[in-house]
A and B are shown apart, each in its own frame.
Chain A
C-alpha cells in the first residue's frame, strides 16, 4: 500500500518558470489537500478538494492552481514561480467521514531562484 505519493521530491526553478507537483493516493480518499511549510512554521493550507471535480481555496491560494479530475490524483500547478514560493510542499488525504485522520506524503522541496 503506497499511501500518498508526491513527486518530485526536490525541484529547483528559475523565477517565472512553471511546474506541476504531483500527488497521488491509493486509499480511495475523497479529501485531498496541499500545504506549504516554511522554515520554523506550521503547515498552511493552499488548496483542497472533497472529491473529483470539486476544489476550493485554503489559506494561501495565490500563485497556485489545482484540479481534481480523478479520485486518486491532485496536482498542484505553479504557473509563474516566484522566490516567495520556495518552500516544502505536502500533500494530504483523508476520508470525509470516519476518524478524519489525514495521511501525508513525504513532501516536495521546491527552491525558486
Chain B
C-alpha cells in the first residue's frame, strides 16, 4: 500500500467546513483512497472512499486531484461530534494484500 502524509492536527470552527488534506504521491493506478475516523478511543469508523472521481455521502465529500497524488476530505458543516482522529489510507481493491495499517492521522478539534 502507498504511504500517505497528513498534517498532525488542525482546528475547525463549529458550523464551518473542515478540509482535511492527504498526500499520496506514490499511489498506483489500482489503489483507492479511504478515509476513516476514530472518536476518542472508540473503534475507527469508515467515512468514504474513492478512486479518481469525487465522491459524496451523508458524512463527507472526497475530492481527489486529477493526478491522484493528493485528496481532501471535506466535512461540510463540522459539529463538536466531528472531533476525532482522521485517517487517510490507500489500498488496492480488490486486493490480495491485506496488510493494511493506519498512520498517526490528523487530529481534528472542532471548537464552539
Contacts and interface: CB of A to CB of B under 8 A. Distances in A.
B99 A42 contact: no
A97 B94 contact: yes
Chain B at the A interface: mostly helix, strand, loop or mixed? loop
Contacts, number: 63
Nearest to A57: B99
Interface size class of A (residues with CB under 8 A): 20 to 34
A64 to B, nearest CB: 15
A31 interface: yes
Q: Which of B36, B43, B45 counts the most A-chain CB atoms under 10 A from its CB?
A: B43
A102 to B, nearest CB: 6
B90 to A, nearest CB: 12
Contact of A45 (B94, B101, B103): B101
Interface string B74-112: 000000000000010001011100111111110000000
A106 B42 contact: yes
A79 B43 CA distance: 25
A42 B49 CA distance: 19
